[in-house]
Structure 1
């Protein structure tokens, strides 16, 4: 039924006590129901604003740090599959790292068909810098995702050749400022951290990137508030840039213990935390993704490939998530507009207050991405797209497979 509609079967009139004008009781009950939903959305936003670890703040950056007495050795492991487009902008930033200790790069060419490995060797020859080893692991073993199979191969080779103290796990599309590795190591050694990860600043250039990308990080922080992660109340990481202590990796049995994980960064953090490790997660200031997502379809595939996995492939969680997204993100603007059109008393005020809080909580992330404030009121539109991407992710899973970069995966085996 549309907002404010009057159903002849349900709308009755009665005279107020002592005479006076008639009141349409059925319509009042209907309006009251919509008002209660809007109030629920407002209450949810008040809770999110104050009780969800202040997820909307963007001041969680690398903590204060100092130089270690001895600079530990680091092996940089870069899984790469068909990355020739972005490698010229990312690999040079690793080769030219200004790191006082020993560091070596292992690029694992995961079955690329675009000459990724050859391009990496040529860049290393031309630019010099840190030593680069390009290797290939072959096809993934049974029960492994392609990326984690590549990481396993790179970690094993690094352990064999370098005996490194730390591993920098970084994606092939991530560009680092010259002091990135040094600052990560300083943070890890100063605070005795086993896993230090930074959410790289993703590219925001086209209309669709501006609409969707900042919200991607905003939603991630809402699900895994960085303050809660760093206080030990929740486990999460950003896989694009993660410094991992080798001893902690061995205690946690990674990557073997998470070999089927689609959301491998969160799985890594959970494994390290379960084994007694200390983790830290924050926003990067000098680490950037150079991968372009100019079209909606590319962003759609990026989100939908892992959205249902985030819900542990549970239909009930899917239903609850869709309902929650609808109430929290879609009801406020709908209630505001419908209330103004129909003149339904407090409805536009309640909906507008929830919408205002929502938009205000999004502003810090927009500033972090150097975007205009006027994208903030459009967050419900972005949330609606994410809702559809999540449903599509479940549909693809229901068909028995998901695809990424030409590689398909069936349903994961049930956990034991």
Structure 2
């Protein structure tokens, strides 16, 4: 019991530090900053990379075309080698719904050293630059925007002097597995990249949510976006780091009226979403993997084990330490559950969800070592350090 007591004490100490010292990551009130409308609305180009997105496009693309933006804006959908009719469907939706002008283009297969999404983004930005936009909105094909989304993003960027404004869209939470896993996904992301630190000048923390990134065109050129991050699997974080590293001011927060319409109804679907990039997040390092596994065990799994073992073994100190750590854990998770409109009784289940994420992360490493890592829609990407640099 002595070892378990000290381990439980370490877990509680870790949770007290996370509660107070990790940028208040657990708070969900970081929303789009207050703003005022500019006197002249700058021109904006929207770039939508899309690969086999016919299943979700009808629920997302019309919302972009229907933006009530007062300035000049147009949409470029880049069909990244789709085989399901994504491009023709996009044109059909534009004819049916009208709204902002839509251009559908295809860049062909990406060259070695590029991910398909970033190659599509490069092509879209190239087309957009001919229109001379002040801002680029990079948004995924599964994101449905409220009619005032673009207006509010531009107003916030102008008012706050931001080079990058990113909102994390509210992911779909409908199936049982989505309720269990999705809010935790955002919670863990915020724990790694506390939103308050992202937006703080001088802070090293940089991140973005790839579903919605408003980027000043000048900042994109200065940071050589997307060429500088062309083989990044976790492209949103890499993009934010490049912009912030180049002296840009960035902001990241949760969205109120922007939703992902992509379903992940089964555990298999959610598992694939996490496992395809988890090991890349750890820079394909076995040492970082071992540290992550140990950290997840200490922080998320030790508290319930200590409580159960302490009660069963009659050790009140161990039980109290475990219960206290579990209580703090559940308390920090409640705001995210409220944001996703989920019942509070899911909070004590966070250790189980964390165990799933631990297994997904290990599986991600196994996949990479088997040559199946970073697989997405028929493509598998090599580790960046194994790709020849083409300049």
Matched, 1:261 2:232: yes
Q: CA deviation at 1:344?
A: 1.4
Matched, 1:391 2:362: yes
In 2, Cα distance between the equivalents of 1:401 and 1:253? Answer: 29
Give the match for residue 242 of structure 1: 213
Paired residue for 1:408, among 380, 388, 391? 380
Give the match for residue 185 of structure 1: 154
Give the match for residue 174 of structure 1: 143
Give the match for residue 337 of structure 1: 308
Q: 3-state DSSP class of the match of 2:122?
A: helix
TM-score (norm 1): 0.92
Matched, 1:381 2:352: yes
In the TM superposition, what whole-angstrom CA distance separates every residue of 1:322-364 from its partner, at most 9, and x where no partner exists?
A: 0000000000001101111111131110000000000000000
Paired residue for 1:370, among 341, 352, 373? 341
In 2, Cα distance between the equivalents of 1:271 and 1:112? Answer: 29
Give the match for residue 266 of structure 2: 295
Q: 3-state DSSP class of the match of 1:249?
A: helix
- Give 1 or 2 for the bigger CA radius of gyration: 1
In 1, Cα distance between the equivalents of 2:3 and 2:135? Answer: 57
CA RMSD across the alignment: 1.0
Give the match for residue 54 of structure 1: 24
5+ residue gaps, structure 1, are 1-30
Matched, 1:97 2:70: no
Matched, 1:221 2:193: no
In the TM superposition, what whole-angstrom CA distance separates every residue of 1:183-229 from its partner, at most 9, and x where no partner exists?
A: 00000000111000001000000000000000000000000000111
Q: 3-state DSSP class of the match of 1:242?
A: strand
In the TM superposition, what whole-angstrom CA distance separates every residue of 1:298-320 from its partner, at most 9, and x where no partner exists?
A: 00000011101111111100000
Give the match for residue 38 of structure 2: 68
In 1, Cα distance between the equivalents of 2:122 and 2:249? Answer: 22
In 1, Cα distance between the equivalents of 2:249 and 2:259? Answer: 25
In 2, Cα distance between the equivalents of 1:362 and 1:408? Answer: 34
Matched, 1:276 2:247: yes
Matched, 1:357 2:328: yes
Give the match for residue 125 of structure 1: 95
Q: 3-state DSSP class of the match of 1:86?
A: helix
Q: 3-state DSSP class of the match of 1:85?
A: helix
Higher relative contact order (CA 8 A, sep 6+): 2
Q: CA deviation at 1:376?
A: 0.2
Matched, 1:230 2:183: no
Q: 3-state DSSP class of the match of 1:60?
A: coil
Partners of 1:41 and 1:327 within 8 A in 2: yes
Q: 3-state DSSP class of the match of 1:122?
A: helix
In the TM superposition, what whole-angstrom CA distance separates every residue of 1:241-261 from its partner, at most 9, and x where no partner exists?
A: 000000000000010000000
Give the match for residue 21 of structure 1: none
- Work out the number of aligned pairs and report it: 385
Q: CA deviation at 1:108?
A: 0.3
Describe how 1:129-168 pairs up with structure 2 within 5 A: 129-160=99-130, 162-168=131-137
In 2, Cα distance between the equivalents of 1:227 and 1:189? Answer: 19
Partners of 1:400 and 1:411 within 8 A in 2: no
In 2, Cα distance between the equivalents of 1:269 and 1:122? Answer: 34
In 2, Cα distance between the equivalents of 1:250 and 1:176? Answer: 26
In 2, Cα distance between the equivalents of 1:414 and 1:180? Answer: 40
In 2, Cα distance between the equivalents of 1:414 and 1:60? Answer: 38
Q: CA deviation at 1:69?
A: 1.8
Give the match for residue 171 of structure 2: 202
In 2, Cα distance between the equivalents of 1:401 and 1:294? Answer: 23
Partners of 1:78 and 1:151 within 8 A in 2: yes
In the TM superposition, what whole-angstrom CA distance separates every residue of 1:130-176 from its partner, at most 9, and x where no partner exists?
A: 0000000100011000000000000001112x111100000000000
